[in-house]
Structure 1
């Protein structure tokens, strides 16, 4: 029996020793034991290489503005573990975590002696979320973000009202495959028979896979730049603005607070998902709900300004495609600033390509490290850079303090890399005030 929050969290994290075990058989077994809670509430499913969290938060805010009680399942967390399972943006309570661990732990123990084997940390958390949303929080709808891939992801036991695939890029190749087509096939695994899919996938080889799977599953496909069209895009002081055409009508002068042209694509997918459930499942969503939801949507650690004087921005660009978007946004928005970058990442990422992109937008670049099993060392990262003004500082706290001490009004400190790193740095700045 687990009695405290700390004990519950320790037990969950102890599941990390089982690593990543693609497949949904263990999830199906646990859901059978729990009476299939995942079948008893409405869901929206979101997969993709980048932009999942932002798309989830746009959908959540729109539905909230319309008066719905919305669950979200996301990863990784930025400030606290509990935010992975939230209702209306509020993380579930510590005492609920203890209750859920005591519910799931006996099933995990039983599976250890089963041919299916022990459930992973992610499977345990996913199982907890299904039970919580159905029996404890009683949400109107939950928006689920895949953890890795889609086809064998533990969230893929749901049959959602609509599926969303944000984009395809090179990440987790050891598990998902090396080519964009292979990765797209894994992401397309969330497409269910007869359930529509909305996507922003642009590369032809990846898009063709999505199209083929949608046809095979007899799923209506809505594609950005085809059925969904963005126009009149403009970067504003507070975010971005754009017009959007969907099969259900035209929305002029939509505004978002999250910065970057790529966030417009994420917002467009979210609007389309909400328009779909409105028109086919009688959700009461007015145009004003869409507008207000988009403007209020916020996702920590994505081009987030955590200090204005001096200017400090955090962005969890943790793969090549994310870094490309970051570099593009820096050029567009901060061309009048001297850009000082602090970067670290996990060693299994495409570091050469990511660092090359940073070299092109940085006036100075500092490489660092942090306390995480797969974190790359500062000297190793620095060795991959060709920037004339680079340095390596192993302690990121020392690096931050050193850079901040020299910043003026024309300077920007951009801290980027692993989301696990961004989580630590964000806590540092929020506690600092």
Structure 2
């Protein structure tokens, strides 16, 4: 008997120099980096002609209803899927919702599945640098030529849907349709699909998932999802639709867990919960990440190296393992191969998630964009690192809880350099600086007009620590505040899309 719902639940057995003369945001690289797994390049080269074609398609997609304007319905995507012969039904699906941790967990699930020999499609959103990141096949972003080809093949059906409903498909709806068609075209045998916003009426919810995953839920996008944790949980639990599925529940506030469990029981989905059916047994800092012992649904796996830092990533790893075990039908009598599990986790990358991009001063990029994520980021920094001086470079979008983000990060940041990214939705740097002064005080807040200038100033501030602590490893820079900020920072450092 579950203590959460009162219902019976089904059991599951370097150093480089900055040149501001360069155009755009890109920096001159030289010297040495930190030797990490920097770049994953496309399997085949991209011609100038293909880049031009992709840019044209991106313009056409951008002209659609923007993804930050929501008209909550599945009708348009359902209509297009019907016209295409329901490609989303041609492969198995693991569907991942939640407020934070979705993208990293999706990438872990993808890597684990590939280590077991599956051909995997993956969706994630939003993208950091290029739209092709949102659709991956065999762990690589879809090639621009394939993206353009799929788009051109199905765009007539977009136009039919536009005419039928009297409103165009949104940018996100169109991308979801492209992803589902691309996976069928590949073909893949399993798709790992990240929810865009909410769950119940998200464009991705035309799938019938074999495994539904609900990551931790916090207060975000309240204008669309509701003002309480319960309201938001109800929307996100809407991805649980298949009575033959398994629902994997990450760590949750009690009120969110109750709502999710009630939905799972209503649908008839089996359930596994973090802290009950699976957990993190042990986590320790390791060079380049952390070493984990995970208790999965089919037993413990020790000596797992995860090249990502922070307790939140250890939690994500436990969720990812449970999702793959549930998908594979693993049990105590038939556990997953531990060596393949270790290989899958060791190969994980998650760009823009506490991503180290420079060694001296140590520089991280993180896509945190809400207080819930900022608290997880602060905990990771305080748990896994020991900086004498850590300077934040922060740019936030105008519709986000900037004060909440800053308050969460204040305990781990010595000073902040406030700036703004190039998004038309960016919060003005001077307005953000006023908010930051309320949190940090006047003396700890600096301002710069763009990301390059802000990083240059942050490096100067971080290196001031040398005279105080005598070692460069005692200083660092964190660039964060939004997915857009993280993407522009990756481009600035010359990182390839992944």
- TM normalised by structure 2 equals 0.83
Q: Please name the residue that 2:16 is paired with.
A: none
Q: Please name the residue that 1:357 is paired with.
A: 408
Contact 2:366 2:486 in 1 (8 A): yes
Matched, 1:303 2:354: yes
Q: Please name the residue that 1:198 is paired with.
A: 248
Contact 2:100 2:216 in 1 (8 A): yes
Bigger CA drift: 96-105 or 364-373?
96-105
CA drift of 1:285 comes to 5.1
Residue correspondence of structure 1 range 255-274 to structure 2 within 5 A: 255-274=305-324
Equivalent residue for 2:303, pick from 226, 243, 253:
253
Q: Please name the residue that 2:479 is paired with.
A: 415
Contact 1:278 1:284 in 2 (8 A): no
2:329 is paired with a residue whose SS is helix
CA RMSD in angstroms, aligned pairs only: 2.0
CA drift of 1:275 comes to 1.1
Could you tell me how far apart the structure 1 residues matched to 2:359 and 2:225 are? Answer: 40
CA drift of 1:284 comes to 10
Equivalent residue for 2:118, pick from 68, 91, 99:
68
Structure 2: runs of 5 or more not aligned: 1-49, 467-471
2:218 is paired with a residue whose SS is coil
2:202 is paired with a residue whose SS is coil
Contact 2:395 2:481 in 1 (8 A): yes
Relative contact order (C-alpha < 8 Å, sep 6+): which is higher? 2
Could you tell me how far apart the structure 2 residues matched to 1:250 and 1:85 are? Answer: 32
Could you tell me how far apart the structure 1 residues matched to 2:88 and 2:424 are? Answer: 33
CA drift of 1:393 comes to 1.3
Could you tell me how far apart the structure 2 residues matched to 1:170 and 1:32 are? Answer: 34
CA 1:284–1:254 in 2, change beyond 3 Å: closer, same or farther? closer
Matched, 1:322 2:382: no
1:15 is paired with a residue whose SS is coil
CA drift of 1:420 comes to 1.0
Q: Please name the residue that 1:11 is paired with.
A: 60
Could you tell me how far apart the structure 2 residues matched to 1:44 and 1:200 are? Answer: 14
Contact 2:391 2:414 in 1 (8 A): yes
Equivalent residue for 1:82, pick from 103, 126, 132:
132
Q: Please name the residue that 1:114 is paired with.
A: 164
Q: Please name the residue that 1:278 is paired with.
A: 328
Could you tell me how far apart the structure 2 residues matched to 1:78 and 1:329 are? Answer: 21
Bigger CA drift: 250-259 or 413-422?
250-259
Could you tell me how far apart the structure 1 residues matched to 2:219 and 2:232 are? Answer: 8
Could you tell me how far apart the structure 1 residues matched to 2:380 and 2:66 are? Answer: 38
1:12 is paired with a residue whose SS is helix
Matched, 1:367 2:426: no
CA 1:291–1:216 in 2, change beyond 3 Å: closer, same or farther? same
CA drift of 1:431 comes to 6.0
Paired residues, what number?
A: 429
Encode CA deviations 1:26-73: one digit per residue, 9 max, x unaligned: 111001110111111111101110111111111111111112211101
Structure 1: runs of 5 or more not aligned: none
Encode CA deviations 1:268-327: one digit per residue, 9 max, x unaligned: 11111111122269x995221111111110100111110012211111111011000111
CA drift of 1:112 comes to 2.6
Could you tell me how far apart the structure 2 residues matched to 1:17 and 1:333 are? Answer: 38
Contact 1:104 1:124 in 2 (8 A): no
Residue correspondence of structure 1 range 230-245 to structure 2 within 5 A: 230-245=280-295
Contact 1:73 1:145 in 2 (8 A): yes
CA drift of 1:15 comes to 1.1
Could you tell me how far apart the structure 2 residues matched to 1:334 and 1:234 are? Answer: 12
CA 1:116–1:214 in 2, change beyond 3 Å: closer, same or farther? farther
CA 1:288–1:280 in 2, change beyond 3 Å: closer, same or farther? closer
Could you tell me how far apart the structure 2 residues matched to 1:8 and 1:285 are? Answer: 42
Could you tell me how far apart the structure 2 residues matched to 1:141 and 1:376 are? Answer: 39
Contact 2:99 2:220 in 1 (8 A): yes
